[in-house]
Amino acid sequence: MDGAAILERVRARFGPGVVDAHDHRGDHTAVVARDALLSVLAWCRDEPALAFDMLTDLTAVDYLTYPGREDGPRFEVVYQLYSVPHNHRLRVKVRVEEDDAVVPSAVALWPIANWFEREVWDMFGVRFEGHPDPRRLLMYEEFVGHPLRKDYPIDRRQPLIGPGT
């Protein structure tokens, strides 16, 4: 199944839950509403014609300083899906506002999402509702802030930790 057919099936199944769908240079992307996210991901995994059985990556993008996005949501959480049996890919995005940066956890669908979501929380500050272990992954617990946010002060001094501090 080609990318256009995949996007058409997702749009037909979820209607207004799909905010946007486009294909650019062979990358097939569906932007979905936050309340439809888990339904879309589960259906993409479980629908035999799609069978997106692998979550290959999950990350976030901070659009704070991106030209033309001043009025839109600040963050996008990006899911990269792959189907081993069908050898096709799909990118699913969900947009979230800075003051409500919460997305439902996909750990129940793909256990590998556990560490991906912890990394996104740690680096961007996007929380995953229902995550089984929302601790920091890369930064130490006393670290203040989220260093991949565009407004993170690069000269910020962090608390010292360890013996003798």
Class of domain 3-111: alpha beta
Residue 42 CA to residue 152 CA, distance in Å, equals: 34
Q: Is the pLDDT of residue 165 over 80?
A: no
Strand ranges inside the chain, DSSP E: 18-24, 27-32, 54-62, 75-83, 88-96, 102-104, 127-129
Q: Identify the weakest region by mean pLDDT among 13-22, 43-52, 62-71, 96-105.
A: 62-71
Q: Is the pLDDT of residue 26 over 80?
A: yes
pLDDT digits (tens, 9 = 90+) for 53-100: 999 999 999 999 888 877 889 999 999 999 999 999 999 999 999 999
Mean pLDDT of 106-134: 97
Question: What pLDDT sits at residue 69?
Answer: 78
Spatial contact of 62 and 149, defined as CB atoms under 8 Å apart: yes
What is residue 4's three-state secondary structure? helix
Mean pLDDT of 113-122: 98
pLDDT digits (tens, 9 = 90+) for 145-156: 999 999 999 887
Residue 95 CA to residue 35 CA, distance in Å, equals: 11
